[in-house]
Amino acid sequence: MTATTDGSTGALPPRAASASEPHDTIPQAAGSVGIQDAAARATQRATDFLLSRQDAEGWWKGDLETNVTMDAEDLLLRQFLGIQDEKTTRAAGLFIRGEQRADGTWATFYGGPGDLSATIEAYVALRLAGDGPDEPHMAKASAWIRERGGIASARVFTRIWLALFGWWKWDDLPELPPELIYFPKWMPLNIYDFGCWARQTIVPLTVVSAKRPVRPAPFPLDELHADANDPNPAKPLAPMVSWDGLFQRLDVALHTYRKVAPRRLRKAAMNTAARWIIERQENDGCWGGIQPPAVYSVIALYLLGYDLEHPVMREGLASLDRFAVWRDDGARMIEACQSPVWDTCLATIALADAGVPADHPQLVRAADWMLGEEIVRPGDWAVKRPQLPPGGWAFEFHNDNYPDIDDTAEVVLALRRVKHHDPERLDNAIRRGVRWNLGMQSKDGGWGAFDVDNTSPFPNRLPFCDFGEVIDPPSADVTAHVVEMLAFEGLSHDPRTRRGIQWLLSAQEANGSWFGRWGVNYVYGTGSVVPALVAAGLPASHPAIRRAVTWLETVQNDDGGWGEDLRSYPEAAEWSGKGASTASQTGWALLALLAAGERESKAVERGIEWLAQTQRPDGSWDEPYFTGTGFPWDFSINYHLYRQVFPLTALGRYVNGEPLVEVKGG
């Protein structure tokens, strides 16, 4: 079962209009009925809307929209395995075609610039779907690709996909030896130096790199090479004294090692990698609850002799089908991941803060479902914390190997807002979650998303790792959520909480904002940190909080909302806090200002008025913009439920006041 753009169950409706485009608004303008009344009306409508989107089992899940590389790689996988079918191919082609921009390119986020790798993958997918290279939309895309260096200038992952069909030479790709699986955890570049998402991808790709398979290409791609005489041009090496130069020469050495690698050792390494992969397959057949590792795991196991009817393969392929969202127009969109735990805890917090009674049956159902999702067995995190008892929550339906710190903190905050019929069960689950989160604190006092002290500088230097962030260091938004949770659990004065607070204070930017790792960007970071610091006991008059308030007031848009473009990641000075107003980012800014005691300020009133005026008649908001991230800038996400939960949380706290921090006694 999949969810729609607005979080309901069914097919994906057409893309919503931008907040800056004409759309229906609620009949009463905020000024005509008073800001308080407008806020109360908007809160009630948003509450009704969100309650109506809950699944009967108790969870919420909005679509998780990324970019067309997910859809293109799904078609390439099917071509590689020989399992393509006309219906799927046609539906994927319809979706990919519909995402093409006027200049012939594909972007990785709404309103963003054309992206070379995404455009290449989308073009190849449309060739698989039957589009000819001479058709106008295809010719425009290929011309743009050639102008920007062709396939040779694409990221490594794109060229790996092309190498599977002989459209690129394996010799011209970075080497990734399967013997990496044997590196002990104290050794640089061992697999646990990588973030969990990269680790799950790299291990199967070591098998693919070792096997170097080539399937017959269904057509040539000469039109995508900038240099027809040399389709695989060699890139010059960086100076040897630089990090890039050092790791490029390491890659040259690995290519040499490949020629002399002992066959028995290589075979044993690939078999060990296969066991590692299979041991981490989830109950639903997926790996890590995310699409990319699942795709590469299926390919790796297939290359090692697992046929498509093997239970591991059969369940793995079935899991990939569950990432598909079928639209009413017949198009098929692939989600990179699914976010039911995250969406459910955020929805529970929003509804509770909006005034839904703590014993409301739908909140109780949500709590029941979340309690059933608790992970009570060790995962890869235990490599660095072998003595820490388990107890946490993951992001997805099934991902027991990788609970994450952010979800665990927010689930605890959500559960504390529910009056449950089995308080002992709820308290025990919360206690385990708090203990696990405390045990996952990094040595610098902050918290990463999945692992402890995942800060090695080396993985990002590898020529292979050009696809986005591959390590998981502490971030302000995750650390803030943990600190806020600990404060609500009566642990504000615990030394570990105080270290987290100090980490946050030291991470504040000079302009008063905080960097947002998992949400866009400084608005998200600031909207996460300020409520946490206030909950932990910092007064609203604290200089760090006053600087944050000043920054938020400075970047508020003329229309009263807040927005921030993804370009704030590579170009912070120019884009920090700047972008079209969105419901989710306006919600984040308001959460910070309300926590800082600014309820009566003009900035808050204008923000609340913007939310009330842009709310749709059904209680929802439009938001085509991407306000979430997988990797900052490199992989962006539009969480379709963000536009509902964060505005409602902000409206609820404006109407009902900030949630009280009740001491739980630790």
Which amino acids are annotated catalytic? 406
Q: Are strands 324-326 and 332-334 parallel, antiparallel or unpaired?
A: antiparallel
Q: Tokens standing for 188?
A: 């640089």
**HEC states along 347-366?**
HHHHHHHCCCCCCCHHHHHH
Taken as a whole, the chain contains a residue count of: 666
Q: Is 25 in contact with 299 (CB distance < 8 Å)?
A: no
Q: Tokens standing for 626?
A: 């991407």
Q: What is the dihedral of CA 122, 124, 126, 129, to 10 degrees?
A: -140
From residue 349, how far is each of 254, 370, 614 by CA, in Å? Answer: 51, 13, 22
Q: Tokens standing for 516?
A: 């947002």
Question: Which of 497, 363, 359, 374 has its CA nearest to residue 438?
Answer: 497
Q: Give phi and psi for 43, each to the nearest 5.
A: -60, -45
Question: Which of 461, 607, 639 has its CA nearest to residue 527?
Answer: 607
Three-state SS at 533: helix
From residue 635, how far is each of 68, 202, 329, 655 by CA, in Å? Answer: 11, 17, 26, 36
Question: What is the spatial order of strands in the sheet that 64-65 belongs to?
Answer: 64-65, 635-639, 628-631
Q: What is the spatial distance between Cα 117 and Cα 122, in angstroms, rounded to a whole number?
A: 8
In this structure, which amino acid lies at residue 64? L
Three-state SS at 418: coil
From residue 427, how far is each of 59, 279, 375, 440 by CA, in Å? Answer: 20, 31, 15, 20
Q: At what angle do helices 361-372 and 423-439 cross, to 10 degrees?
A: 50
| Residue 45 C-beta-side C-alpha neighbours within 13 Å | 21
Q: Is 505 in contact with 567 (CB distance < 8 Å)?
A: no
DSSP states of 109-121 as a string?
STT--B-HHHHHH
